[in-house]
Amino acid sequence: MFIQFVQDNLLLFAVAIVSGAMLIGPMLRRSGGGAAANTLQATQMINRQDAVMIDVREDAEYAKGHIVGSRHIPMSQLDSRVGELQKFRSKPLIAYCESGNRSSRAVSVLRKHGFESVFNLTGGYAAWQQAGLPVEK
C-alpha cells in the first residue's frame, strides 16, 4: 500500500524527502563543533552552573554591545589566548558571535584545547538581543 502511494505520488514524495533533508542538514552541520545551547538553556546554565559567556566577535562588534559579564576573546586570538580560560575549566563555556557561525569554530578550538563543557549559543548575539536578555555597551 505504501509502495503504491510512493509510485503514484513520486514527485510529492521526492519533495518531502528533499525538504526534510534541508531542515535537518543545518542542524547536523551546526552540531559538528560541539553542543548548541539556545538562549533559554544558556541563561539556565549561567544561573545554575555559573557558565561563562565567551564573546568571539571582533573589537568593534564587542564595543557596540555584548552580553553582560561576557569575556571578550576575538576568534582570531582564541588559540593564543586560550590560557585565560583555564580558571574556568570546571564551568560550562558558552561561545557566541553575531549569528553563531564563528562561535561554532570557537567551540571546536576550545574542545581541541581540552575543554569538555563547551556550547555554541544558537543564533548568537542577535538571538540574545531578540529574546530581550541583558546586554551592555
pLDDT for 50-98, tens place per residue? 999 999 999 999 999 999 999 999 999 999 999 999 999 999 999 999 9
105 to each of 35, 93, 97, 108, 112, how far by Cα in Å?
12, 14, 10, 5, 11
Given the residues 36, 45, 94, 97, the one annotated as active site: 97
In 20-46, which positions are buried (b, 16+ CB within 10 angstroms) versus exposed (e)?
eeeeeeeeeebeebbebbebebbbebb
Q: Are 125 and 98 in contact (CB under 8 A)?
A: yes
Active-site residue, 97 included:
yes
Grid look-up 563555556 returns 93
- % of the chain residues with pLDDT over 70: 91
